[in-house]
Amino acid sequence: MRSFRERNPVPIGAAGLGVLVLLVVGSFQLSSLPLIGDRSYAAAFRDAGGLAPGNEVRVAGVKVGTVTGVGLATHDRTPYVKVDFRISGHVPLGEATEAHIRIKTVLGQKYLALEPSGPGKLGTGAEIPVEHTTSPFDVLVAFKGLAAEVGKIDSDQLAKAFSTLCSGAFASFGAQSVLQPPIRVGGAHRIAVGAGVFVGAGAWLQVLPGPDGEGFIEIGDGTSLAGGCVLSSAAEVRLGRRVLCARNVYVADHRHAFADGSRAVLDQGIEHVAPVTVGDGAWLGENVVVGPGVSIGRNAVIGANAVVLADVPARAVAVGAPARVVRHLDADGP
């Protein structure tokens, strides 16, 4: 017999390389290789619920195996989803064992949950019937269905119905006026809404007790308040006819007191209470703030993000914080 050194090194190296390759591949596929003591089963589902081969199989939250296959099968000409899986170790499964597809992560990854039940023993290779399985509630599908149903709702009709229902709570409420929900209202009995008024979703109409009694809000005929507008009164806030307020306009006839440094501003009440008037046909741009005691003239224009703390004459354009008049429209000429 020849010694090891005398042998041809080529076949020996090839065999060694082959063994090494098998070890490397086996290390990556170890979880999918059948081991001694492994048992294979199947479960029938009405739908796969996003389950995929390689997903975990768990009993009482503990991993006991792996899903090995998910495919379509038929029984008595009725199609169903057949899920093949393998479990390891001594996990007793009764004849009434149930299988459920559950959600593992917020990203939607699933796992197969087994609930051992019933007498006897579930034989290796047995299939859990569809009567003993459930699929997860699919949130995405549910929301798609909800979106489809919501899309069928006539939002204009809903707003009109809402306005009709709550109109009786106001001091007055003109014909064809619409409050688009959601909307927050405080002191509706001190709020007068003209005819043909539109108040967009997210608005807040608020009446507070002031030094001379409760405040009062008047919204003139044809005025339009886009979403997110706030009208707050402890004295009097009056918007004329056909006033146009863009989104997030804030109009208040008072301000929060804040002089006491030992107390929260929230606890110091209000101060500088004085009536506010916005003339007919004025236009208040997006995010405009109108403070107490201000009078804005007829057909005036207030630029977006302006903070109005002083009067603005009719047909004037005011911008900035604090706002200042930068143009008189009647002086422009033809």
Q: Say if residues 235 and 214 touch (Cβ distance below 8 Å).
A: no
Catalytic residue flag (residue 256)? yes
By C-alpha distance, which of 195, 149, 145 is closest to 173?
195
Type of residue numbered 154 = D
Q: Is 280 helix (H, G, I), strand (E, B) or coil?
A: coil
Q: Look up residue 332 and give its DSSP letter.
A: G
User: What is each CA distance from 42 to 19, 65, 126, 292, in whole angstroms?
Assistant: 34, 12, 6, 74
φ and ψ at residue 142, rounded to 5 degrees: -60, -45
Q: Say if residues 199 and 176 touch (Cβ distance below 8 Å).
A: no
Q: How many residues does the chain have?
A: 334
Strands 133-134 and 301-302: unpaired
The residue annotated as part of the active site, out of 75, 189, 256, 328, is 256
Sheet holding 217-219, edge to edge: 172-173, 191-193, 217-219, 237-239, 276-278, 295-296
Q: CA triplet 48, 52, 53: central angle to 5 degrees?
A: 130
Q: Say if residues 294 and 273 touch (Cβ distance below 8 Å).
A: no
φ and ψ at residue 179, rounded to 5 degrees: -110, 120
Integer Cα distance of 66 and 56 in angstroms: 5
Helix residue ranges per DSSP H, the chain: 9-28, 139-151, 155-166
Please identify which residue in the block is written with the tokens 């009109």: 160
Which are the catalytic amino acids? Answer: 256
